Structure 1
Amino acid sequence: MIVNCSEPNNALDSSSRSINETVNGSHHFTIRGYSLAKGMGPGKYISSDTFSIGGYEWAIYFYPDGKNPEDSSMYVSVFIALASEGTDVRALFELTLLDQSGKGKHKVHSHFDRALESGPYTLKYRGSMWGYKRFFRRTSLETSDFLKDDCLSMNCTVGVVRTRVEGPKLYSVPIPPSDMGQSLKYLLDAELGCDIIFQVGEESYKAHKLILAARSPVFRAQFFGLVGNPNSDKVELEDVEPSIFKALLQFIYSDELPDFHEIIGSTSTSSAIMMQHLLAAADRFGLDRLKQLCEAKLCEEVSADTVATTLPLQSSTTAHSSRPYV
């Protein structure tokens, strides 16, 4: 009997791929007063505003008297220039002179159409250009539908080439955001399964002991502590406004800072004062996250009118409340 002692080959085949693609963008450039630009001289140009495509800045250069002296009397020149720092930037280009008669007979010079034949154009440094010295014969341009009311209009499209390498992807199932807070708040708003009533002034609010205990150490001690009473069905609260306690309950269930306008509607009380009271209540019931949210909101809205009351309040809540019961 022959025993094969070699280890089994458990190595998996690996793969990757190189993806070459373009980041495309366009810019519309209008030249008003074309006749006033004539006579600038060869090599002199009108520039568009710079625009960003593929992480680089670009500009359109229009030469009304041609880029070179030998073409100054015959042609207008148009170029796309790299206007930011960059070396060996590879891109595809398209220049379109727009037909303003509505017939849609635009004059298109496209490098995109020749990509398979010649590949992208490489711009070596800032100021490098792609375009046409003999973009359009001047006499033909001035009698064409491209010139209307002494105005020219053109589109420029740039496709910057990007290369990236991808390895094998693990397929994943999209996970929706958590809606736990919304679901718990629904229980509070609909008063489903409530087992405790809080009497706050003339208002009463129903809630759930287990949810309160899970969120607040003060409520946990009151209902389920060594001397707590899980059978109690009503608690009277003093020294807290009904609207503040309602906002406190909404935070406990949703974990979000409540909107006072939704809770109390129109009121002459400023939001800063309401937030100060909510901060004190958060400290009283051991809700540290709510305290931090209130402090951050108060810092955003601090003013000469509120600083005198806000700073002492925040200082007084830096230590946890030692009160074990409500």
Structure 2
Amino acid sequence: MSTSSVAAALAAGGGGMHSASVVVAEAVSGSHVLKVQGYSLIKGLGVGKFIGSVKFNAGGRSWCIRCYPDGWGSECTDWISVALFLLNPDATEVKAKYRFSLLDQAERTHVPLHTEAVSTFSAKASGKGHDKFIKRQKLEQSAYLKDDCLEISCDVTVLKEICLAKDVAVQFVVVPQSDIHQHLGALLSDAGSEGADVSFEVGGETFAAHRCVLAARSSVFKSGLFGPMKEKTATSVKIDDMDPRVFKAMLHFIYTDSLPQMDSADATMMAQHLLAAADRYSLARLKLICEHELCSNIDKSTVTTTLALADQHGCHGLKEACFSFLKSPGNLKEITASDDLEHLMKSCPSVLKELVAQLAP
């Protein structure tokens, strides 16, 4: 309903009716990117010291981004801190949603590291953000830092309230966030009885699903289920070379755009398998999520496996993160002394050549 329609409806009320008012919430958005060139020069700037962006506008207010390379407090000295500041705040409080992201410079995609936050900005509290945005060591080993440069993006949504009636008690109409993922997740949970029209046999387990949902999310499923292939008319499709747990997690992502809760001990292994599944079924966002998870958990026990996986599935940012880890003399020496390097030589000789080229003076 338009603003004029709401006002007309309010004005048309007859005698004896209780007066009322409506406040319509308008979301006004904006975004800004802070590009940091010469990251190595700002390391050691000091706790609580920051570099700031230029002023930008969102929702009729002025904002800036601050990056604290040594953390903004003593409790986060090993972390990069980021904050959004309201400039020239007055007595009026401003409620805003914000989300910080880092640019994956290999994939040229901004990746949010935290969920969207909602805060009230005022003269007494003009800055809000994340004291532990990303650990400095992880940043330096990731695809977010390339050629001594990184990009921090901040999306800001300001809530404006418009009153459409005078001299009456104010009632707020709150528009909740979209819950479509919950409805689709429930549809998946009830797939056995709620209109499922295809099933998948994976490693001895059967999963019921909906062709239209799968086709809408994956071009590979669309081609297989609606194209000239035999799956078009089949009600049961067999999937080879995939663990049932991985297929179940992939289905969960297809319906909800999120991953299910996982045991932290299995997170890295599941990310490896899900990355391969995402590449197989052309699920670009799932692939990026898995890359991010693996970039954040590279260690001496996983680096060669992760490097081979990155090469096989064209994950350039993940590959660079592995190379960065191996450039450390201590890490390289330990890997060289193990059987992992020999396995990498046999499975991915081209990757080993790239590594040698990067290590060459």
Output the TM-score relative to the length of structure 2. Answer: 0.39
Larger Rg belongs to: 1
- When you count helix as a share of all residues, which structure comes out higher? 2
